[in-house]
Each structure stands twice: as C-alpha cells, then as structure tokens.
C-alpha cells in the first residue's frame, strides 16, 4: 500500500519535485558564478557572505517545495471529490499517515539537489583554512525544513478544507496586526519579541526555519 501511495504522490508532484530539485541544484552554482567575477573571493568574510546567500536561497527552496507538495496533493483530491482516498481499503487516518510519509520521502529529491549543487559550488572555491563547507548539513536542514512546512500545510489543508485560503488570510492579517501593535505600543514589544523568539529559535517549533542558513562557515 505504501508503494502505491508513494507512486501516486510522485505522479501528482513530479513536476514540482523536478523543478525544485533543479533549482536547488542550480542555485548555489548561479550564486557562485555571479559572485566570482564581482568579488573575486579575496577574503574569508566574502566567502562566508556568499555561503550565507546560498543558505538563505536553499531555505526558501526547501520551504516552497514542502508547501507545494502538500497543497498540490490536497488540490488534486479536492478536484476529484476525494475519490482516490475513499477508494483505498484502509482507514482515513492510515491513508493520511501514509500520504504524509510518502510525501516526506519524495521531498528528499530537492534536498539531494541542494547537496549536489553545494558540493560542486564549494569545489570551485578556494576556501582558506579556517573555513569549512557544510553542503551535507545544509541539505539535511533543507530536508527538515521542507518536512516541517509540508506538515504545517498538510495539517492546514486537511483540517480547514476549502476554507484554508481564508484561514491563511486571517493568519496573515493577525500577524500584520501584531506587528502594528508592537510598533505603536512599545510596552508590548518586549513580550511579543520574547514569544516570537521562543517560537523561532531552537529548540522552538519553528527553529529549523529560522536562524542562520549557510554553506560556508568557520
């Protein structure tokens, strides 16, 4: 059953997976090719800056990959009236579980693209002794980030259904109001920043998405 659901997951998302894998592979190389003639990699600081740019782009690619796979899977089901899910000879909970696991397996492809692209990009640079490359760590973090974003999007789509877009709008408006409150009422700023830091820093629930993403560091 898992193999069948994995095949269906691949069939529904292969275009997205191929796109994000190709972009994840190409992004480090493109950034290097753009930075090389302009910066010349004359110092360790410049190399670290380029590595940080590659890391930030890789994080964005991973997040978009996780969101796209989760959203596409539910959209196909929604258009077909959930016929495929209802036709499976298993319970709904097990079907959702298998779908989530199969999507997580499929999301390894963009992370693999980031890893290979990072390795090739690092091989084109002359990094001084104090600096190290972290292509493998970056790929693992990208995989974890894509899993987290996929899980959040998957939960939103399957709990809110067709109201998911409206709920996203409400969440966006809520965040905007929160920022306005922090800007207009300085007394609340410290509490808001403390909660935001608790959520976004490790080991917070969204810690893997924030913090420093980099391909090259000391």
Tens of pLDDT, residue by residue over 39-90, are 555 577 778 888 888 999 999 999 999 988 888 777 666 665 555 555 666 6
The answer to whether residue 202 is domain-embedded is no
pLDDT for 18: 93
- 158-179 pLDDT, tens digit per residue, is 766 666 667 667 777 877 887 7
Domain total of the chain:
1
Q: Is 107 helix (H, G, I), strand (E, B) or coil?
A: coil
* Between 67 and 218, residue with greater pLDDT: 67
pLDDT for 88: 62
Asked if the bond preceding 109 is cis, omega within 30° of 0, the reply is no
pLDDT for 42: 59
Q: Phi first, then psi: what are they for 155, rounded to 5°?
A: -65, -40
pLDDT for 40: 54
DSSP string, 7-70: HHHHHHHHHHHHHHHHHHHHHHHHHHHHHHHHHTT-SHHHHHHHHHHHHHHHHHHHHHHHHHHH
What residues form DSSP beta bridges with 133? 216
The answer to whether residue 196 is domain-embedded is no
Give per-residue burial for 74-101: e unless 16+ CB within 10 Å, then b. beebeeeeeeebeebeeeeeebeebbbe
Residue with tokens 């994995």, as numbered in its chain: 6
The answer to whether residue 205 is domain-embedded is no
Helix, strand, coil % over all residues of the chain, rounded to 5: 80, 0, 20
The answer to whether residue 185 is domain-embedded is no
pLDDT for 208: 83
CA–chain centroid gap for 176, Å, is: 22
The answer to whether residue 176 is domain-embedded is no
CA–chain centroid gap for 210, Å, is: 11
DSSP secondary structure code for residue 216 in this structure: E
The answer to whether residue 190 is domain-embedded is no
- The lowest-confidence range among 85-89, 91-95, 133-137 is 85-89
* Between 209 and 87, residue with greater pLDDT: 209
What's the pTM?
A: 0.80
The answer to whether residue 198 is domain-embedded is no
Give the domain range for residue 50. Answer: 2-162+210-217
Q: How far apart are CA 113 and CA 95, in angstroms?
A: 29
């Amino acid at each position: 059953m898992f193999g069948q659901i994995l095949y269906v997951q691949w069939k529904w998302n292969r275009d997205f997976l191929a796109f994000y894998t190709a972009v994840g592979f190409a992004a480090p190389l493109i950034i290097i090719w753009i930075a090389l003639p302009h910066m010349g990699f004359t110092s360790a600081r410049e190399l670290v800056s380029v590595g940080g740019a590659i890391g930030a782009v890789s994080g964005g690619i991973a997040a978009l990959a996780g969101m796209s796979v989760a959203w596409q899977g539910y959209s196909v089901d929604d258009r077909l009236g959930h016929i495929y899910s209802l036709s499976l000879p298993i319970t709904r909970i097990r079907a959702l579980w298998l779908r989530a696991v199969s999507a997580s397996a499929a999301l390894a492809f963009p992370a693999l693209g980031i890893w290979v692209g990072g390795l090739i990009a690092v091989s084109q640079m002359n990094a001084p002794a104090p600096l190290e490359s972290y292509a493998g760590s970056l790929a693992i973090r990208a995989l974890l980030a894509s899993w987290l974003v996929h899980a959040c999007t998957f939960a939103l789509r399957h709990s809110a259904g067709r109201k998911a877009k409206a709920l996203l709008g409400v969440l966006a408006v809520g965040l905007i109001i929160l920022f306005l409150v922090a800007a207009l009422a300085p007394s609340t700023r410290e509490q808001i920043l403390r909660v935001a830091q608790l959520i976004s820093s490790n080991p917070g629930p969204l810690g893997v998405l924030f913090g420093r993403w980099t391909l090259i560091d000391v």
